[in-house]
Structure 1
Amino acid sequence: MDISGTPLRAVRAALFTAFVVTLSTASHVLLSRAPLPPATVGAVTAGVFATAYALAGRERGFGRIAALLIPLELAADTVFTTGQHACYGRAGGPLAGPLRAVGLDVLCEGRVGTPLARMTGDPGHTAALLAHASPAAAWLLLAAHVGVGLLAAAWLRRGERALAQLL
């Protein structure tokens, strides 16, 4: 059985999407201490799946997986941050945000990751910390994203190799 067949291609893309979106969503909620709008998570999921399906034609090596995973993770983080600001405002309040102001609150209904956000403590502390963050904080955050992306790429590569050997 070939690893690039259509049924396996969809399964591989779905597993990659589940891994990337879960990792990105959980880490974003834990670091921002604020939940995510479901519409934003859905948009990221659809984008990651479409990209993964388009590129799942053959077995990939670590470099190619990392080259896809790290930019996807950074793009997901940017979309998540934009979605949070659009729905909840910069302060994270439930009624603020430009989408609510123009009546598009249906896109902001629900909150993905609320239990994780509650676990992290006071959201006001994070907002104050980010408002007075040094320029080094942005570089540390980027380094953390790249490090997590490289570890995830190594894990996904091992799974890709195991599937190829199994088939």
Structure 2
Amino acid sequence: MDMAGTQLRALRAAFFTALVVTLSVASHVLLSRVPLPLGTVVPVAVGVFAVAYALAGRERGLGPIAGLLVPLELAADTLFTSGQAVCYGAAGGPVAGSLRAVGVEVFCGGAVGTPLPGVAVPESGTAAALLDSPDPALPWLLLLAHVGVGLFAAVWLRGGERALARLLAAVSAFA
């Protein structure tokens, strides 16, 4: 069996996209306590699917996976944060005024996710205090956290790649 088959590539890309985008959106909404506009989630999902489909033709090693996944993680987070800032403003509420007059409602129409009251960190929590602090090291800590998440996801994805390749080899040997 070939890992480059069109149906298998599409299935792998769709599964990867669903898993990655769902986890990314959920964690971003949970940590920021602000929903994501559909205008940012859909392009990220389409982009992730396109990249995953293009690269699903053969088994990849950890280096190429991590080299692609870490920048994708940073780009998705940047798009999500920018979308939240455009649609909801710094206070987390709807933006009014000139942005709505020039058609931002098309971009901001619909939202994905809401903060979970039983899971979200209360305003007085240490995570909220850390994220609201003006410490100049905070952006570097957030960058380090995103790179760490990207590397962890790459190791996890590499394990899945190896397992799928072994499964396909076993099925083709059995057939």
Q: In the TM superposition, what is the alpha-carbon distance from 1:99 to its structure 2 partner?
A: 4.1
Q: Structure 1: how far apart are the matches of 2:124 and 2:35? A: 14
In the alignment, what sits opposite 1:76?
76
Q: Structure 2: how far apart are the matches of 1:117 and 1:72? A: 29
Q: In the TM superposition, what is the alpha-carbon distance from 1:117 to its structure 2 partner?
A: 7.2
In the alignment, what sits opposite 1:15?
15
Q: In the TM superposition, what is the alpha-carbon distance from 1:155 to its structure 2 partner?
A: 1.1
Q: Give the letter aligned to residue 147 of structure 2.
A: V
Q: In the TM superposition, what is the alpha-carbon distance from 1:75 to its structure 2 partner?
A: 0.2
Query: Does the residue aligned with 1:4 lie in a helix, a strand or coil?
Result: coil
In the alignment, what sits opposite 2:24?
24
Quick one: structure 1 residues 77 and 120, their matched pair in 2 at CA, closer, same or farther if it must change by over 3 Å?
A: same
Q: Structure 2: how far apart are the matches of 1:136 and 1:79? A: 22
In the alignment, what sits opposite 1:34?
34
1:149 aligns with 2:154: no
In the alignment, what sits opposite 1:104?
104
Q: Give the letter aligned to residue 41 of structure 1.
A: V
In the alignment, what sits opposite 2:60?
60
Q: TM-score, normalised by structure 1?
A: 0.87
In the alignment, what sits opposite 1:165?
166
Q: TM-score, normalised by structure 2?
A: 0.83
Contact 2:34 2:115 in 1 (8 A): no
Quick one: structure 1 residues 146 and 47, their matched pair in 2 at CA, closer, same or farther if it must change by over 3 Å?
A: same
Q: Which moved more, 1:88-97 or 1:49-58?
A: 88-97
Q: Structure 1: how far apart are the matches of 2:27 and 2:166? A: 31
Q: Structure 2: how far apart are the matches of 1:122 and 1:36? A: 20
Quick one: structure 1 residues 88 and 117, their matched pair in 2 at CA, closer, same or farther if it must change by over 3 Å?
A: farther
**Count of paired positions:** 167
Coordinate RMSD, CA, aligned: 2.5
Q: Which moved more, 1:126-135 or 1:58-67?
A: 126-135
Q: Give the letter aligned to residue 146 of structure 1.
A: V
Structure 1 unpaired stretches of 5+? none
Contact 1:35 1:117 in 2 (8 A): no
Q: Percent of counterpart pairs with the same letter?
A: 69
Q: Which moved more, 1:63-72 or 1:123-132?
A: 123-132
Q: As a proportion of its length, which structure holds more helix?
A: 1
Q: Give the letter aligned to residue 63 of structure 1.
A: G
